[in-house]
Chain A
Amino acid sequence: MDRREALSRVALIMGGTIIGAEAFLSGCKNPPAKEGLFSTEDVALLDEVGDTILPTTAASPGAKAAQIGAFMKVIVTDCYTPEDQKIFTDGIIKLQDAAQKKYSKSFMEMSPEQRTEFLIALDKEANDRSKEIAANDSKLTDEQKHERKLQQDLGTYKRPVEDDPHYFSLIKQLTLWGYFTSKPGATQALRYVAVPGSYQGCIPYKKGDKAWAT
């Protein structure tokens, strides 16, 4: 990566499309999580949630083929702050409770159609939350933003609760990122050329051609 790419990442954060991108850039500054944030059942559940977000289609395999549940476990355990770890693990419980309440059965027992319907509603809830966070951010003055940046640099910044991301935003972003940077995601859903050998800046594109993986 270089500054141009860093710049495009900044643009993405500012566009609010990657929740947790800040953590991608700054990593996690807190002590390692203890073993066992996730049970085997949690990983299996995350596999199914991930595979509902990005299911198998005629064109390519789904997120389960990328072992997305295990990937989420690794990232949350190794890279998340304790605050985000808690949002994520509490979120698994909340997701199951909400499924039970709405469908009177567990997510694992729901039909694919029910799962999709349920997660679309959850995604809307998460998007509303993201909009609130963006609105909070837009209320800050330049001085307040600068102060926040200094605190983040010093490691003294404490994110206010009203800026906590929705747990489903975390799940969805880990699913997208984990899948499209996995071998099946990069090589089957997208196009990947390890050594392009040349560069052509302007070539024809026709609808349906896959995007480059990187």
Chain B
Amino acid sequence: MEGLRLDRREFLKYAGIATSTLLASACAAGTPAPTAAPPTAAPTEAAATPAAPAETPAAPAKYKEPPALAELVKAGKLPPVEERLPKEPLVLDVVEEIGQYGGNWRRVWLGPSDAYGMYRIVGETLLKWSPDSTKVIPNVAKSWEVNEDATEFTLHLREGMRWSDGHPFTADDFMFWYEDIQLNEELTPVKFSRMMLGDEFGKMEKIDDYTVKISFSRSYGLFEMQMASEFVCYAPKHYLQQFHPKYADKDKLEAAIKEAGVETWNQLFANKNSWLNNKELPVLHPWITNGEPTATLWVCERNPYYWKVDPQGNQLPYIDRVTHELLQDRQLVTLKAIAGEIDMQYRHMQVKDIPLYMENREKGDYRVLMWPNTLGSEFVLMFNQNWDKDPVVAQFLRSKEFRRALSVAINREEISKVAYLGLAVPRQSTLIPESPGYNPDWEKAWTEYDPDKANQMLDELGLTEKDSDGFRLRPDKQGPLTIIISAVGIGEAHELVKTYWEAVGIKTILDNQERSVHYEKMAANELQVATWGNEEMIYPLFLVYPWWVMPYGTASRIAPLSGLWYASGGKQGVKPEGDLLRVIELYEEAKATPDEQKRFEVAMEMMRLNAENLWTIGTVVTREWPVIVKNKFRNVPEKHLLGTVNLAPGNANPPTWFFKQA
């Protein structure tokens, strides 16, 4: 969902159409997949997508490098490949064949606010999700151990691994991140949430140069998955310390602040610690920025110290450079794609453009892959359980029967036809079929279009009297019962839902909100019913991203104030009651327990409560999104689960992708 950031402008501009399509693509831009199953066998069938060559092959004896780097070595400008690689480089298997070096991977983007798309390709997390998103596998750390009650996590690093400037990567870089970045209140007012257990921030210790331990005072069984989910807990100390007052010379730091035109050292530090803007920042990424991201063409070049190899010992990545052309408008992405000027990309591709993509496949010399996503439902209606401006309306928003009645009043087939080219399937927002624990009953519950039944249910709730327009009167007879649907961009789906609800006598108002207004009102608890798309509906990824299934924060529209209550450890907000509180308790249990089986059961109970209560009414979902890949661009899996938490397509190993030369 970070995708959203980039998409702000899109929302405003095209807001019209199906919020979710946009959303979808936005997020899609990075969406993940499924299941993490730590060492113990998961209680599940394997999740999602096929592909996924599994375990790490044995490391080859001798290493090879790209010709361009070999020349630098010959010229004495770079140490030989054996010295650049760690003792045990990470070996990535290839989907199709051993690749060839070279080439320029052309992509398009909407500017620096869209950088998350590139991050999903280059980001190197501590651990990562396997290509099929079913389990946690090594990445930066070569191995790890968890103690019995899941309070201590010991990480083993790769000896001889180096930053992109050749400096050794060690436990000191972890401690710098922990002590000098995270624990520095001035620099980091908001601590890294994945390392938070309740209000406790995990403790990190250096055991030796290549061993780090993270510990908590209570069990945190979910932490293993957290470490694979966008988890980066290291920073190049040797470089960044010159901008940190603890290490830097005071006068030099002052001078640097002045020169950069900023006001405080933490602003300077943040600027210097940007992989996007700062060419000098040492990183672990396969490609490093080598230009201004604000220019028309943003160029990233290969990292000569990249620490992964293919099964034959060729240092990765295969592709020399990745370029992003700056487009000002999302519609142009489609034009670029069909003109064959994009080598591989799915970010910003849209379902509604599939006919265009298909039509121009031969002319543009590309193929169109369809990758599954984790959306439970693309267009959902979230009923605010905390709403309190009008007790009569609030009473209905909190009524399970009322929500169910409104759910069966919706004609999902028609929404699919009108707003999604008929490509979307009706379903509630619950676990997707690929997920362990998938339950078709939850998926189908209250999705059958049946206005008669809806009318009957509403009658039974006492809403029997109607005004002259046919709208049901409030029990206190103060005009018709009116529901307000708020959204960032009103689209066809919204209009349809309004007609369905009004057809059963519930007056409905559509409130089109600008994005910041939406968030302001959300935080102020002023939304009755909000629409959005629900992603990460797959076990266990939804545990790492629980916004949609429980009050997790103010962005949980089903109960923003209870979300605040949860996020603040009970200090602020409104304490939830009944099932809403139960679901929070269950989550805490799932988060803590080291027992995989137990976690699965608890998580399923959370999902059952969601299906039962229908705090969120789901409508339809487009199960797969288009991916444009040039025909000569190889090693891209046919299917790959697009999730947020799994950092897709990063877990499909982009460094192994290559251009097949004739």
A associates with B: no
Residues of B participating in the A interface, judged by any CB pair closer than 8 Å: none
